[in-house]
Structure 1
Amino acid sequence: MVELNVVEARVLGSLMEKEITTPEYYPLSLNALVNACNQKSSRDPVMELGEADVRTALFDLEGLGLARTIADTRVSKFEHRTRDVLNLRRDEVAVICLLLLRGPQTSAELRARTERLYSFDDNNAVLSTLERLAGREEPFTAVLPRQSGAREVRWVHLLSGAVSEAMSAPPREEAPATGLAQRVEELEKLVRSLEERLAALEGSGATVQE
């Protein structure tokens, strides 16, 4: 089973994207690939990878058969082999590519963002692709638990291994935490006030007895 680290996932996703969106510049030179990995748009998270980072990732991807070097030009160029190695259809390539580049997303988000990669007829077509990938003998996608207040579930790729609990758990909501802190502070103030009043009453009682 393929298990990519975050840099390998970014490099592979960038190669997959540029093959479709800028075929005139594909395969990519190392410099072009670094720039693709570090794009400020259509990336989550935004990274600042150096040439050494990308070279290392390419070496590991080549070892997995997922990338290869085209060395018959003045400048070495690189391409992915995801379709052949993982046996992916065009719609599956588009979905995996976006999940590699932008992390967990809903089917609606994927449909809106895959326009340049693949044209899905509707949201059900995206769901069908995601479910097909999830139903493989070695699943490539999985659905995450629904976040509190969210209308749709998010999907994630499994090319980096099983989904961690940290990723699958809904993000903590700040508002309730802030409200709890305020309540604790108010209770502490109330306790201090009661203690002061009790001390005052005890002092007053002592004076009367004298």
Structure 2
Amino acid sequence: MTDEANPAESDPENTVAAKPITAVARRVLGVLIEKAKTTPDGYPLSLAGIITGCNQKSNRDPKMDVDEGDALRALDELREAGAVREIQGSGRVTKYRHAAYEWFDIDSPGSAIMTELLLRGPQTLGEIRTRANRMHPFVDLTATQAEVDSLIAKGLVEAITPPGRGQTFAHCLYTPTERLHLAAKVEKLAASDPTSASAAKETTAPGSAANEGRIDKIQSRLDEVTARLEALEKKLADWES
């Protein structure tokens, strides 16, 4: 069963509005949504599978070294918030599934974008589209922008740099302290070189049809490698559980 099969599993009256959560909790939630979409046969996830997903080297920024205690605390935080549910898996192994559709009040395209922002942090529109395509196909940047605008309207995403090429977007689940650090980082970058933020991002944001095609080919190869890594990680998680 995939995450797409039960977008309204809970009573709408019990839905809890999304709120800021800690960095490890965001990583755990991102992993649960990602694995539901990319490796549905291995979903829901065991604790071992969640830890493996949090610490994997691909599609993650920053890299983390989450241990069992970190993961359990994050899961407790997410359960209390209403973003994750605990279920009994086969062989009496406790497993976990996300409730992101209800918690965020979004659909599959929105969840793909939120997942990438949770797993990789702030990104440009081009980066979001290229990376989120592995979970939901976005036909072009216009479609991606429309979905990002929808998430902004819901208070889930915000632009952290000025409009224009290389504009960067972030989710709104950072804690207050993290938001201050993020704002200071962006301000420092802009002060040191007003063009640096855009220049650094333009290398991945498609500026033409030719560039977009080249990026898509590169992403396709990366997706193949990622799929192989995720398959190996799933086998490891199954073995550990």
Shorter-chain TM band: 0.7 to 0.9
Structure 2: unaligned runs, 5 residues or longer: 1-17, 194-241
Q: Describe the SS at the equivalent of 2:139.
A: coil
Which of 120, 139, 157 is 2:138 aligned to?
A: 120
Deviation of 1:166 after TM superposition, in Å, equals 2.2
Give 2:151's aligned amino acid: L
* Matched length: 171
Deviations 1:65-119 (A, max 9, x none): 1001112532100110010222111110000000000000011011111121000
Which secondary structure state, in structure 1, belongs to the residue aligned with residue 30 of structure 2?
A: helix
The runs of at least 4 aligned residues of structure 1 exceeding 6 Å deviation read: 172-175
Distance 1:32 1:170 in 2: 38
Q: Any gaps of 5 or more consecutive residues in structure 1?
A: 176-210
Corresponding position: 1:35 with 2:52? yes
Deviation per CA, 1:121-148, whole angstroms, max 9, x where unpaired?
1001111111111112xx000001249x
Q: Is the 8 A contact 1:146 1:170 kept in 2?
A: no
Which has more radius of gyration? 1
| Alpha-carbon spacing, 1:167–1:109, altered in 2? closer, same or farther (3 Å) | same
Instruction: Please give the TM-score of this superposition, normalised by the length of structure 1.
Output: 0.76
C-alpha distance in structure 1 between counterparts of 2:141 and 2:124, whole Å: 10
- Following superposition, the deviation at residue 172 of structure 1 comes to 7.0
- What is the distance in 2 between the residues matched to 1:131 and 1:72? 38
* In 2, Cα distance between equivalents of 1:142 and 1:123: 17
Q: Write out aligned runs for 1:34-53 (5 A).
A: 34-53=51-70
Structure with the larger RCO, 1 or 2 (CA within 8 Å, 6+ apart): 2
Q: Which of 87, 90, 96 is equivalent to 2:108?
A: 90
How many angstroms apart in 1 are the aligned matches of 2:170 and 2:114? 9
Structure 1 residue 103 corresponds to structure 2 residue 103: no
In structure 1, the residue matched to 2:168 is 154
C-alpha distance in 1 between matches for 2:96 and 2:119:
18
Higher helix share: 2
Distance 2:165 2:150 in 1: 22
How far, CA to CA, are the matches of 1:118 and 1:78 in structure 2? 22
What's the RMSD between the two structures over aligned residues? 2.0
- Structure 1 position 173, deviation (Å): 8.5
Match of 1:62 in 2: 79
Contact kept, 8 Å, 2:161 with 2:169, in 1: the verdict is no
Q: How far is the alpha carbon of 1:10 from its aligned partner? A: 0.4
What is the CA-CA distance between 1:167 and the residue it aligns to?
A: 4.3
Percent sequence identity is 34
